[in-house]
Structures are given as C-alpha cells and as structure tokens.
Amino acid sequence: MVLLSKHKRKNSKLIFTAKKSPKLKGENTFYKNHIFIVKWNDRSLDADAFVKFFVDKNGNATSFKPGLNIKL
C-alpha cells in the first residue's frame, strides 16, 4: 500500500499532509456534513481545498477524497 496523503491529530487539530508534495500540508476546518476545508500552511499556494470524508454505519471515517470536484 502506498500512502499518498494522511490526516493526523496535532494538539487536537486535524492536519492534512501530502506525502509526495511537502507544500500540501495544512489544518482542516469543518465546513458541513463530512466535508472539511484544508487551509494550506504555505499561503503562496493561493488556494485551499475541500476534503470529503466517507464514514461507515458507525460514523467512523473509512476514507477521504481531496479535491475541488466535491458536490456540496
């Protein structure tokens, strides 16, 4: 299995980190439902991203999809 990106908690904040793109690292802010906005630490990227989490019947996150093509 190749880990392309991950989410981890740091000081009770959810942090997104892209393994192959070190600049793509930032804090997640809740938007709605299971959708979060990632605000990149490197503000020169001049854009943030949506991340949608998919959950099982118990509400536990099973996967996520980063990108802008998320239906809100």
Would 71 be classed as within a structural domain? no
Q: Report how far residue 33's alpha carbon sits from residue 67's, in angstroms, rounded to the nearest whole number.
A: 16
Q: State the residue range of the domain holding 43.
A: 5-66
Would 72 be classed as within a structural domain? no
Domains of the chain: total: 1
Would 42 be classed as within a structural domain? yes
User: What is the pLDDT tens value at each position of the chain, 72 positions in all?
Assistant: 334 455 566 677 888 888 888 888 888 899 988 899 999 999 998 888 888 889 999 988 888 887 755 555
